[in-house]
């Protein structure tokens, strides 16, 4: 009888301890606002004449229930005075928190990438945001929305299609002043089911001091039905120095 009782206690104690363990702490509140500007440049001359320049911008402003964010980026490369890549992107989104889990969101995203066959594309969306995980070591946010995709390709007629927007954004801090983010975005096309698109982006940013940071990023974009004559998948690697400002007051 005693061995059975000891065995039962041995199995129960870890369960009781884990049940009484405190939940993981919530992440600290973000600042009331933050702004960052990044830039990169690489150039060669002599045996080869190449140049590559990039810039990006990000802004967040937070109120008790509202939040706005905007972002922009530009990449341009050339070789022997011939442009080999050029991409411009801009995004603006407004969000209103309804509960600790769910919020309303509306946004617009515009891009131009003629080297991928797109003279201009805009995506206007409205939907819900989801605060899925809130821990000190990990946050996970989601977006589910309906959107209108308007395209002006370099080849072929213009397209206007109703699409969906499904996105997951993960953030994992490391060290005292660094973090890595992972984003997966999927755009199903409700008019042409074969014309779906997807994006995957991973980035890491580490502060060098209170104002400067180093940022590395990798982006993969896939269009299942690309503009005729262009490939389905594009990849881009970036490295830049970032200047950042943020409020000393935390958001409510």
% of the chain exceeding 90 in pLDDT: 78
Q: What local confidence, expressed as pLDDT, does residue 160 receive?
A: 95
The two tokens of residue 119 are: 């003279």
Min mean pLDDT across 7-11, 27-31, 203-207 is at 7-11
Mean pLDDT of 151-177: 95
Identify which has the larger pLDDT, 4 or 44: 44
Tell me whether residue 2 is in a domain: no
> What pLDDT was estimated at residue 176?
79
Mean pLDDT of the chain: 90
Query: In this predicted model, which residue has the larger pLDDT, 31 or 13?
Result: 31
Q: Tell me: the pLDDT tens digits for 26-77?
A: 667 889 999 999 999 878 777 668 889 999 999 999 999 999 999 999 999 9
Q: Which of the listed ranges 122-131, 168-177, 233-242 does the model predict with the highest average pLDDT? A: 122-131
Q: With respect to residue 19, please indicate whether it lies within any of the assigned structural domains.
A: no
169: confidence class by pLDDT, cuts 50, 70, 90: very high
Confidence of residue 5 (pLDDT cuts 50, 70, 90): very low
Q: Considering the domain boundaries, does residue 73 fall inside one?
A: yes
Q: Which two tokens stand for residue 25?
A: 């702490």
Which residues, 6+ apart, have CB-to-CB distance to 5 below 8 Å?
none
pLDDT 10s digits, 142-155: 999 999 999 999 99
CATH number at residue 97: 2.40.160.40
Residues 6 or more apart in contact with residue 29 via CB below 8 angstroms: 250, 251, 252
pLDDT at 168 over 70: yes
Rounded Cα distance, 77 and 54, in Å: 9
- For position 198, what pLDDT does the model report? 98
Q: What pLDDT does residue 230 have?
A: 95
Question: Structural domain of residue 140, as residue ranges?
Answer: 27-246
Contact 7, 205 (CB under 8 A): no
CB-hemisphere CA count at 13 Å for 136?
7
Considering the domain boundaries, does residue 16 fall inside one? no
- Residue 80 pLDDT class (50, 70, 90 cuts): confident
Per-residue pLDDT tens for 119-130?
999 999 999 999
Our count of domains for the chain comes to 1
Tokens 């005292």 identify what position? 176
Say what the pTM is: 0.86
Residue 3 is assigned to a structural domain of this protein: no
Check residue 234 and give its pLDDT.
Answer: 94
Structure confidence at residue 25 (pLDDT): 63
Q: Is the Cβ–Cβ distance between 61 and 30 less than 8 Å?
A: no
Does residue 67 belong to any structural domain of this protein? yes
Task: Quote the CA–CA distance of 146 and 163 in Å, as a whole number.
Answer: 6
Q: Is residue 21 part of a domain?
A: no
């Amino acid at each position: 009888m005693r061995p059975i009782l000891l065995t039962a206690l041995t199995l129960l104690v870890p369960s009781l301890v884990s049940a009484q363990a405190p939940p993981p702490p919530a992440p600290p509140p973000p600042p009331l606002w933050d702004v960052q500007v990044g830039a990169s440049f690489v150039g060669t001359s002599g045996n080869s004449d190449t140049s590559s320049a990039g810039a990006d911008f990000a802004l967040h402003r937070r109120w008790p229930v509202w939040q706005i964010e905007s972002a922009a980026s530009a990449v341009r490369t050339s070789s022997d005075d011939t442009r080999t890549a050029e991409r411009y992107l801009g995004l603006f989104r407004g969000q209103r928190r309804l509960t600790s889990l769910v919020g309303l969101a509306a946004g617009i995203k515009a891009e131009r990438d003629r080297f991928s066959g797109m003279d201009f594309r805009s995506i206007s969306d409205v939907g819900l945001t989801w605060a899925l995980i809130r821990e000190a070591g990990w946050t996970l946010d989601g977006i589910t929305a309906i959107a209108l995709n308007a395209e002006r390709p370099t080849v072929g007629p213009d397209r206007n299609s109703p699409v969906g927007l499904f996105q997951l954004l993960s953030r994992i801090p490391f060290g005292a002043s660094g973090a890595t983010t992972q984003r997966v975005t999927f755009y199903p096309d409700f008019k042409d089911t074969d014309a779906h698109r997807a994006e995957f982006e991973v980035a890491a940013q580490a502060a060098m001091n209170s104002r400067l940071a180093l940022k590395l990023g990798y982006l993969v974009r896939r269009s299942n039905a690309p503009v005729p004559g262009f490939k389905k998948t594009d990849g881009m690697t970036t490295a830049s120095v970032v200047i950042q400002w943020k409020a000393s007051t935390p958001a409510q």
